[in-house]
Chain A
Amino acid sequence: MNAPVQLPLSRRLFLATGGAVVVSFALAPRDALAQDAGNAGAQTAAQQLPGSLKTSPMLDSWIAIDGSGRVTVFTGKAELGQGIKTALIQCAAEELDVDPEIITLVTADTERTPNEGYTAGSHSMQDSGTAILNAAAQARGIMIDLAATLLNLPANQLEAKSGAVLANDGRSVSYKDLVTGQDFHRPAQPTSPLKDPRAFTVIGRSMPRVDIPGKMTGAPMYVQDIRPDGMLHARVVRPPNYGAKLTQVDTGAVEKMPGVVKVVRDGSFLAVAAQGEFQAIQALHTLSAIAQWQQTNTLPDPATIYQTIRTLPSSDTTILNQGTLTSQGAHVLNATYHRPYQSHGSIGPSCAVALYDAGKMTVWTHTQGVYPLRNSLADMLHMPQAQVHCIHVEGSGCYGHNAADDVAADAALIARAIPGRPIRVQWMREDEHGWEPYGPLMISQAAATLDQSGTIASWQYDVWSNTHNMRPAGPAGNLLAARYVADPFPEPAPQPIPQPEGGGDRNGIPLYQVPNARVVSHFIPGMPLRVSAMRGLGAYHNIFSIESFMDELANAAKADPIEFRLRHLQDPRARDVIVKVRDEFGWNANAKFPRGHGRGFAFARYKNLAAYCAMALELDVEHETGNVTLGRVVAAVDSGLAVNPDGIRNQIEGAIVQSASWSLYEEVTFDSDGITSRDWSSYPILRFPAMPTSIDVHIIDRPNERFLGTGEAAQGPTSAAIANAVFSATGERLRELPLNARRIKAAIGV
């Protein structure tokens, strides 16, 4: 079911194998199948369809059953380590009524799967999960209809079970004997014969992840492990800083080094390909030493970076405006919060393998979006999109837009210069840290008044941010290498992501009831550092700000922070996760702690429309050093219908640990000449000894509700829960991330 990476040496072999397996899957590129439904009537009908069926309405874009009963399910989403393959298999198995073991899931591939854009924004279950759930239910319906004809019985006397249709007269016929090859080549219907959730046997079960055994035993699971015959290893010599121009490089000596096959230079793009990986790295070091660059750009002074960003021109949008603001009240509070540039910090530097052969470019990539990457590569290479094939293969976890797309562009440029040889490029650690697009620096200002009863009367919130989306979408200029070739591509102008999802203003609107409120999003196009999407986007900072500020308001109102939040919340699902955490944590409103020990609480609904997550934690602050030691963490999450509870727990646990690391330690550093945090010693992250003592995640399952994306739900609440606990432990309110020992020590005046 979960074959490790197969290594297609040629497109012919690849298609031959793919075609042989699946009878009902035409050999035409998958795009062509989707276009069959491309007339105007079908497109209007498609708008009514659930999930990604809207954009890929043909059932055989999603599901195929072959003559031996094997089921193939196609998704345009990619496994990023979040466990999506397992959850999607569960959705298909449940509604198709087959054993999960017989399902092969094909993930993002521009010649095989639907185009579902990016695997991002906690959208996979709601887009692809919903599509597969419905497509599988409709496919089951088709199997029942075929059996009805064959057995000459009305469909209501038939039911599907374990890959067969059973008649109430005892006869049965298995799917493999029903399929003819084109049964699913039809548009999906707006409604599906979905099961009653009470009848689920696969959904709701913590099915073990299908990819884990391979990952635990050294199977070739990653793009880093692709090693086709004739492959060369390549490395790219990145400039010393943004925008630098290559003025001179004498490649003669490097070309004579052992194993070196070719030095590729295109303008300021410089790379070397060699037989062996270590040979490529040695050649890289030599090339780096002799290449001469002209610096064209300096970075702003890091000491005043927040003021610098704040004073850049901005485009302002009022995203909430209700009632009449007041600056008078029993209590009036103002606060400003800061978040630095932070790094995705994938453990494995980004990697891609590309092959340019017979006018066709094939790229194995861990991009989050094979189709947008394909289009951008085609633009960069001046090739037709149909001649570029992107196949997703897992890489190291990315947590947003890291260098995955950039390294694919590197590999494609080098492969074009060395036709017929597969080219594997992996970035070096210092390049991943130094060149990835960071999570943007952010600034927010909150102002609120409380009335005599301790209720929020007025709320004003302003947030300043760069874009959170510089992902490749078609123009080549979002790919790093494309900006350095001899005929360079301009970087497309940054755009904000509009509400309701939002980018820098994601979760900028409070979920709390505030009668008089105004929220303004200040979008800043100017980007001194390269930035893009990092897990949670602006929600991380906005939830840090709002949930810190709610504690400040509760403190002013002399209220318990949890009770204060409940006072301002109507949404019963929001209240449920909060109460769950309060009870499971054992939160006593009157508890008193010794100096240095504290607890904190925070809550958010991601994007105000995805999963609900509440959290309480305790920690100790060492007075002499300002060091934080995390204790117990208790979280509750409501992701709607929970397909794989352990998968949800794994995501939330991981998000808590990752966000704790961001919030306690992490900050990209730079000087006027460039980025200076280039490894794990200059960009430290959380290590084992600093892990919390425990993390308990409670799931509130809602079997009758739609999927709510989970992957990013805990990033924001974790940061604020830590800040609130630091306040509880020390009496000092820290509003600038990260809450590192140096800042805490300065705040407590040691």
Chain B
Amino acid sequence: MIVLNINGNPEQVDADPRTPLLYVLRNDLKLNAAKFGCGLGQCGACTVLVDHEPVFSCLLPISVLEGRYIRTVEGLGSADKPGPVQRAFIEEQAAQCGYCIAGMMMRAQGLLEHNAAPTDAQIRDYMAPNLCRCGTQMRILRAVRRAAKAMTASLEPVHEASK
């Protein structure tokens, strides 16, 4: 039994320690946001935050994650109360199929926690590991800029302290 800290909640997981985090999130914990895209760390659809860093959850075994702070889109907010990044993505209508979007939002969250006012070039560089096939990247870039502005303006804490 491994205890994982998911979105601030301790979760007991009974799985082979070699299991990549993605399958535990999706199947054991029923958290749908992170998606399987390639299983190779090439597309970013599975991106979550571990200790404030975006990681490919399709590759990271749960054995190395005990005691670390794992966040998924479900931890950013809900449809009724979206967090600032989610709100910005909704306001910009930054999706078509949306399959890549959870990974996009987590990487954007990671960026804004490190750099509250990134330049356009910094956003493009930071988002480079994540692929979108529908071609909504221009909207995603706008959403990240919008989220940065909203977070700075509202002085909302960008992230809670690690629990």
**Interface flag for B23 (CB, 8 Å):** yes
- Whether the Cβ atoms of A657 and B138 lie closer than 8 Å is yes
Contact of A397 among B18, B89, B97 (CB under 8 A): B97
- Whether the Cβ atoms of A216 and B32 lie closer than 8 Å is no
Question: C-beta contact mask, A675-691 vs B, less than 8 Å → 1, else 0?
Answer: 00001110001011101
Smallest beta-carbon distance A219→chain B, Å? 7
**Interface flag for B15 (CB, 8 Å):** yes
Listed stretches A220-228, A523-531, A576-584, A634-642; interface member: A220-228
Smallest beta-carbon distance B65→chain A, Å? 15
CA distance A654 to B96 in the complex (A): 8
- Whether the Cβ atoms of A650 and B137 lie closer than 8 Å is no
- Whether the Cβ atoms of A349 and B32 lie closer than 8 Å is no
- Whether the Cβ atoms of A224 and B125 lie closer than 8 Å is no
Smallest beta-carbon distance A424→chain B, Å? 10
Question: C-beta contact mask, A270-312 vs B, less than 8 Å → 1, else 0?
Answer: 0000001111010000000000000000000000000000000
CB nearest neighbor in B for A429? B38
CB nearest neighbor in B for A424? B27
Contact of A687 among B98, B131, B136 (CB under 8 A): B131
CA distance A691 to B19 in the complex (A): 35
- Whether the Cβ atoms of B93 and A209 lie closer than 8 Å is yes
Query: Within residues 654 to 669 of chain A, which ones have a CB less than 8 A from any CB in chain B?
Result: 654-658, 661
Question: C-beta contact mask, B100-136 vs A, less than 8 Å → 1, else 0?
Answer: 1110010000000000000000011101101111111
Question: SS class of chain B's interface: helix, strand, loop or mixed?
Answer: loop
- Whether the Cβ atoms of A81 and B138 lie closer than 8 Å is no
- Whether the Cβ atoms of A658 and B133 lie closer than 8 Å is yes
**Interface flag for B54 (CB, 8 Å):** no
Listed stretches A91-99, A340-348, A566-574, A611-619; interface member: A340-348
On chain B, the residues within 8 Å of A428 by CB distance are: 39
CB nearest neighbor in A for B98? A215
CA distance A280 to B102 in the complex (A): 24
Number of interface residues of A (CB under 8 A): 62
Contact of A654 among B18, B79, B134 (CB under 8 A): B134
- Whether the Cβ atoms of A346 and B133 lie closer than 8 Å is yes
Question: C-beta contact mask, B68-94 vs A, less than 8 Å → 1, else 0?
Answer: 000011100111001000100110010
- Whether the Cβ atoms of A348 and B99 lie closer than 8 Å is yes
CB nearest neighbor in A for B58? A429
**Contact A655/B135 with A216-B86, A218-B72, A347-B45 known, Cβ cut-off 8 Å:** yes
Smallest beta-carbon distance A648→chain B, Å? 12
**Interface flag for B36 (CB, 8 Å):** yes
**Interface flag for B59 (CB, 8 Å):** no
CB nearest neighbor in B for A351? B36
CA distance A227 to B26 in the complex (A): 10
On chain B, the residues within 8 Å of A81 by CB distance are: 95-99, 134
- Whether the Cβ atoms of A397 and B131 lie closer than 8 Å is no
CA distance A212 to B105 in the complex (A): 13
CA distance A82 to B5 in the complex (A): 36
- Whether the Cβ atoms of B23 and A691 lie closer than 8 Å is no
Smallest beta-carbon distance A18→chain B, Å? 23
Query: Within residues 124 to 163 of chain B, which ones have a CB less than 8 A from any CB in chain A?
Result: 124-125, 127-128, 130-139, 141
CA distance A428 to B100 in the complex (A): 16
Number of interface residues of B (CB under 8 A): 57
CA distance A209 to B72 in the complex (A): 23
- Whether the Cβ atoms of B96 and A217 lie closer than 8 Å is no
CB nearest neighbor in A for B77? A217
- Whether the Cβ atoms of A225 and B32 lie closer than 8 Å is yes
**Interface flag for A178 (CB, 8 Å):** no
CB nearest neighbor in A for B85? A216
CA distance A208 to B82 in the complex (A): 15
**Interface flag for A8 (CB, 8 Å):** no
CB nearest neighbor in A for B89? A216
CA distance A646 to B101 in the complex (A): 18
On chain B, the residues within 8 Å of A695 by CB distance are: 138
CB nearest neighbor in A for B107? A688
On chain A, the residues within 8 Å of B124 by CB distance are: 688-689, 691
On chain B, the residues within 8 Å of A345 by CB distance are: 133
Smallest beta-carbon distance B54→chain A, Å? 14
**Contact A224/B90 with A218-B102, A347-B45, A347-B133 known, Cβ cut-off 8 Å:** no
- Whether the Cβ atoms of A348 and B36 lie closer than 8 Å is yes
CA distance A279 to B32 in the complex (A): 19
CA distance A11 to B136 in the complex (A): 37
On chain B, the residues within 8 Å of A685 by CB distance are: 131, 133
- Whether the Cβ atoms of B79 and A688 lie closer than 8 Å is no
Give me the 4 closest cross-chain CB pairs, A-B, nearest first: A81-B97, A657-B135, A218-B33, A654-B135
Q: Which residues of A contact B (CB under 8 A)?
A: 80-83, 208-209, 211-222, 224-225, 227, 233, 258, 276-279, 281, 345-349, 394-397, 399, 426, 428-429, 646, 650-651, 653-658, 661, 679-681, 685, 687-689, 691-692, 694-695
Q: Which residues of B contact A (CB under 8 A)?
A: 15-16, 18-20, 23, 26-27, 30-33, 35-40, 42-43, 45, 72-74, 77-79, 82, 86, 89-90, 93, 95-102, 105, 123-125, 127-128, 130-139, 141
Q: List 27 A-B contacts (CB under 8 A).
A: A80-B97, A81-B97, A216-B89, A216-B95, A217-B74, A218-B73, A218-B102, A227-B30, A278-B23, A349-B37, A396-B97, A397-B99, A428-B39, A429-B39, A646-B93, A653-B136, A657-B135, A679-B40, A680-B40, A688-B128, A688-B130, A688-B137, A688-B141, A689-B125, A691-B124, A691-B137, A694-B138
Known contacts A216-B90, A277-B26, A278-B16; 11 additional CB pairs below 8 A are A212-B95, A213-B82, A224-B36, A276-B19, A278-B19, A348-B45, A396-B133, A429-B39, A661-B135, A685-B133, A689-B125
